[in-house]
Amino acid sequence: MKLPKGLDGVVVDQTKISSTQNAVLTYAGYPIKELQNAPFEEVVFLLWHTRLPSADELKAFRKLLVSKMVLPDETIRLMTRIAKEPQHPMSILRTTVSLLGTTNDVERDDPPRILGKMLTAIAAIIRIRDDQPVMHANSDWGVVENFIYLFSGERPTAERVAMFNTVMVLHADHEFNASTFTARVVASTKADYYSCLTAAVCALKGPLHGGANEKVFKMLETIRQTGQEPTAYVNDQMAKGRKIMGFGHRIYKNGDPRATILREIARQIAHETDNDAYFALQEQIRDYMFEKTHLHPNVDYYTALIYHCFGLDKKTFTMMFAACRTAGWLAHITEQQAEGCLIRPSSEYVGQTNRHYRADKEEM
């Protein structure tokens, strides 16, 4: 029997959180195209409760989330030492999430508290790595505005908040992707939320998952710095058997709907920040890749440029993915733990059989 590699097409469980059925991304039944401009807090509420909040609920929920965007002084002190280590930011985040699980107060399995602390910790890692002071959230602002301020040190314009809000909404969840499934496996053991999130961060770090956005921008930088023709670069990489990051998706064969939305944001912010050359380069590669392979850009392709235009170092791009995806991870952890079923699949053994220890030792 031929087994599907990577569980491709295998339905392992049911969920009410999000779906990619028929290559259409929906959150609790709502198409992502209709949610792209919804407030991030509203989308988080939807993912956690599978319904939209009332106006009063949304106002209270936003206030609650922002109130949790604070870290104890002792946690910041320990993070300062960790973040200074010459490791990849995702390795620092992995250790930080585990740290939060040991230094946090007694209400550890509290999604609003955890999301607020995750966003603040990710912003703090960026600031500490840049030798900048850790900022503090403003209770009068929303989650996205605060998050940009926390990692950049500057209050963003309403237009920039709207752009980044859409980025966070589009990344908030995506069914049983690798990191989410990892979180659910750990959650099925009844482990605490921070253990589940630590595992999810580890899965997201890989270049075939969340790490792809960093690789995309590295490709763009390499092409510009070497002056190589984009088509020549693509041909050379493919001739060496290397993937062109940011293209293709196991589910979206005719194009990632998130990439379509992000492309316009990338075009706009690239123009506003004098990064038109990068966007033009992306368009050249996009057209050639479709001509050569019929592959479309995925969510990582344009996100890479957007993050760069927000002044972020490419090594922090995957952490930004984690900041957005934490909302979905928490929804899935909660759903899986409520299900109360241990995830324990079987495998097909294809190794040698009928071996005997003593006989083999005598032959040696």
Q: Flag whether 8 is in a domain.
A: no
Residue 343 has phi, psi (to 5 degrees) of: -85, 115
Burial degree of 240 (CB within 10 A; 0-12, 13-18, 19+): exposed
Give the CA angle between residues 163, 297, 267 to the nearest 5°: 35
Domain with 328 in it: what CATH number? 1.10.580.10
Instruction: Single out the residue of 242, 226, 244, 243 nearest to residue 285, CA to CA.
Output: 244
Domains in the chain: how many in total? 2
Considering the domain architecture, whether residues 286 and 173 belong to the same structural domain is answered as: no
State the virtual CA torsion across 156, 160, 162, 165 in degrees, nearest 10. -80
Give 316's DSSP letter: G
Residue-wise pLDDT tens digits, 18-49: 999 998 999 999 999 999 999 999 999 999 99
Task: Tell me if 241 is assigned to some domain.
Answer: yes
12 is a domain residue: no
pLDDT at 106: 47
pLDDT of residue 1: 64
126 in the same domain as 230: no
Distance CA 210, CA 315 (A): 12
232 and 323: one domain?
no
Burial call 284-301: b when 16+ CB within 10 Å, e when fewer:
ebbebbeeeeebbbbbbb
Work out the angle between the directed axes of helices 143-152 and 40-49 (0-180°, nearest 10): 120
Q: Which of the residues in the chain have pLDDT under 70?
A: 1, 104-108, 360
Task: Look at residues 309, 331, 356 and tell me which one is the last residue of a structural domain.
Answer: 309
Asked if residue 40 belongs to a domain, the reply is: yes
Whether 222 and 157 share a structural domain: no
Residues 90 and 218 in one domain: no
Spatial distance between the Cα atoms of 300 and 215, rounded to a whole number of angstroms: 9
Indicate which CATH number applies to the domain containing 297: 1.10.230.10
On whether residue 301 sits in a domain, the answer given is yes
Based on the domain organization, do 99 and 186 belong to the same domain?
Answer: yes
192 belongs to a structural domain: yes
Residue 226 shares a structural domain with residue 202: no
Where in the sequence numbering do the catalytic residues fall?
A: 249, 300
The residue segments making up the domain with residue 141 are 18-206+316-339
The reply to whether 221 and 175 lie within a common domain is no
Is the domain of 193 the same as that of 333? yes
Output the pTM of the full model. Answer: 0.93
Torsion of CA 118, 159, 47, 110, to 10 degrees: 30
Of the candidates 112, 85, 111, 110, the one whose C-alpha atom is nearest the C-alpha of residue 96 is 85
Residue 262 lies in a domain: yes
12 C-beta neighbours (distance < 10 Å), count: 11
- Both 177 and 232 in one domain: the answer is no
Residue 19's φ and ψ, nearest 5 degrees, are -150, 150
199 and 100 part of one domain: yes
Which of 133, 131, 137, 129 has its CA nearest to residue 71? 137
Tens of pLDDT, residues 57-104: 999 999 999 999 999 888 899 999 988 888 999 999 999 999 998 875
Looking at residue 362, its pLDDT comes to 74
Question: Are both 220 and 286 inside the same structural domain?
Answer: yes
Q: Which of the 8 DSSP states describes residue 297?
A: B
| Residue 27 included in any domain | yes
